[in-house]
Structure 1
Amino acid sequence: MTASRRQFLRFGATLAAAPALISTARGQSRPVLKAGDQKGGLRALLESADALKGIGYDIQWTEFPAAAPLAEALNAGAVDCGPIGDAPAIFALAAGTRIKLIGANRSDPYGTAILVRPDSPLKTAADLKGKSIGTNRGSIGHFVTLKALASAGLKPEDTNIRFLPPADTKLALTNGSVDAWATWEPYTAMAETSGHARVLVSGRGLWSGLSYLAATDAALAAKRAVLADFLQRVVRAQVWSYEHVAEFSATLARIIGISPEAARLQFERRHTTWQPIDASLVAIQQQTADFYLKSGLLKQRLEVASTFDTRFELPT
């Protein structure tokens, strides 16, 4: 059993959501959307904005600590859709996961960062030479690590990159088993506000800040109307969240079990906005895929244009 599969089993939790708007054929039961989530983000967003009122399908939520186990669940058909960063989406698609990217958002990349202990002597990316860095393989943390090393004239083999899930890497950083932790929000804000870590290198200038809502090919064939409605509700809820920062941050803290201070910090500095999947966005995604190819993490070039489904509209 893989580490990501163990995470899927350990962290999986289901929640049935609310009543009716999309109609189903007479005699059929209501559709069920199996929605994956990372650290409760989408669920908190929708519940805070009261965006699940009147839906015509049920939602079964499954929470994951990172993109890797979420991608594995998508590949297995255990979930229909879920949020995933650009780099792990590429990793999953290159591995043959049958998904399409149906919605895109962009955030300030600061919180996708390489962290060190507060008393660490490391000051810049160049100081990572010969040091150990913990992160998830194929994650946006892994991507930022490779970009940070390249910006400092270093190669991956100049460091010791250890692939660990977030909880294990956090512990390894605390006890000194690794020198640095490459991670993302809300883990960055949690580590900062608890005093356990500081940002050595932020993702600004290194990562695009792009993330997606991905859906399986099977779900797209059977539940397209449900997915379209779900995406519209997520986008509207995102707009609401930045108009009600305190309220949303409190709900986020409660649902994902972190401090209100960390919840608000990671939310406010993200400045997440959903945007159309256009040619410029696809080009940025292709650059990320080509960087992974150059880094040796992909065996052959991934043509990303075919991995998008552009027929989903955003609310006006």
Structure 2
Amino acid sequence: MRIGWLRSPNDITTGKARGTIEKALAERRASVQWVGPFAAAAPALEALNAGAIDVTAGSSTASVTALSAGVPVLIYAYQRIAAGGEAIVVRKNSSIRTLADLANKNVAVNRGGTGEYLLMRALARNGINPANVRRVYLSPADSGASFTQGHVDAWATWDPFVTIALQTYDARVLVDGAGIGSENAVTLMTSRDFAARRRDLLQVLFDTNISDNKWAQSNAAEAGVTWVQAMNLPISLASAIGRNNAVPTSAVTERSVAEIKGVAEWYAASKIIPHLPNIDFGVIKLAS
């Protein structure tokens, strides 16, 4: 099994750090090849589309974008993101106090990803014309640099970048995931080909993901340490990252499909994606 991993606080990262995935697959006489780390879900999904990896992690937004582009991906696990795990942040000394103050300002987002979704969702929810806000398309790493250097006025992002911004970039939250009305989630994904060939191993991986997730929920502080170490971040960020991300993961359900469809419909209506993908075709429901 070739797993494309991201430096992000998800159940695959947890399993890699704890050695649980390798152990579970070894019991089935299978092995893991770790590919990455990838900077974000988009390049990982490009690798999956090219047949270079079998499994990766991302988000509802990344999954929707990939499915719209015809990537043969299946979502096999779903984890709603906590309110503190997503936000639009500004510098503490910024004059921006409300979303309306973003008019004629530059906001860093990742194109077609969570950042763009969060910004567009927040603006629409508050009746603000998105044409009045300048979207600056940057990677998460470039967004952080541009934010600290004052090249952008705000940054729509997710954890660990929310925590990094708040604790090391002198930022404050303008609005969090709850205020935005985000329906985004962490999604664990596999290729359609791998699911067809080795559904048995995919089930083993999912069961291990769930076990690691339960461990993280029961040991949020320790999970935070595990994640910051995997991401090469300061240990001082561990508490907040653990608190924001030790939330339940489940198999794909009718409710989660409905929520992903909501994100997809929003993306299509906002013209972030060219057409509405078939979400039912993009999920696999494993035993839980």
TM-score, normalised via structure 2 length: 0.91
CA–CA separation in structure 2 for the residues paired with 1:257 and 1:147 = 31
* 1:55 aligns to 2:25 (yes or no): yes
Give the alignment's Cα RMSD to 1 decimal. Answer: 1.8
2:61 alignment partner AA:
A
Tell whether the 8 Å contact from 2:49 to 2:71 is kept in structure 1 after alignment.
yes
1:143 alignment partner AA:
Y
Runs of 4+ in structure 1 displaced over 6 angstroms? none
1:46 alignment partner AA:
G
Distance change (3 Å), C-alpha of 1:305 and 1:202: same
Per the alignment, residue 108 of structure 2 pairs with 134
Per the alignment, residue 253 of structure 2 pairs with 278
TM-score, normalised via structure 1 length: 0.83
Deviation at 1:48, TM superposition (A): 5.0
Percent identity of equivalent pairs = 28
Per the alignment, residue 96 of structure 2 pairs with 122
| 2:48 aligned residue (68, 74, 77) | 74
Tell whether the 8 Å contact from 1:107 to 1:273 is kept in structure 2 after alignment.
no
Deviation at 1:178, TM superposition (A): 0.7
User: Between Structure 1 and Structure 2, how many residues are aligned?
Assistant: 281
* 1:103 aligns to 2:77 (yes or no): yes
| 2:15 aligned residue (18, 33, 46) | 46
| 1:300 aligned residue (271, 275, 284) | 275
What does 1:228-307 align with in structure 2 at a 5 Å threshold?
228-307=203-282
Q: Deviations over 1:199-223 (max 9, x none)?
A: 1111114212422111111211223
Q: Deviations over 1:164-223 (max 9, x none)?
A: 101111111111111111111111111111143221111114212422111111211223
CA–CA separation in structure 2 for the residues paired with 1:43 and 1:213 = 8
Structure 1: gaps (5+ residues): 1-32
Q: Deviations over 1:96-137 (max 9, x none)?
A: 111111111223132211111121111111111111111111
Deviation at 1:237, TM superposition (A): 0.7
2:62 alignment partner AA:
P
Deviation at 1:313, TM superposition (A): 1.6
Which has more radius of gyration? 1
2:236 alignment partner AA:
E
- Matched residue of 2:78: which SS? strand
Per the alignment, residue 223 of structure 1 pairs with 198
**Greater share of helix:** 2
Per the alignment, residue 62 of structure 2 pairs with 88
* 1:37 aligns to 2:10 (yes or no): no
Q: Deviations over 1:238-274 (max 9, x none)?
A: 1012222333222222221111221320221234211
Per the alignment, residue 21 of structure 1 pairs with none
Structure 2: gaps (5+ residues): none
- Matched residue of 1:249: which SS? helix
Distance change (3 Å), C-alpha of 1:129 and 1:111: same
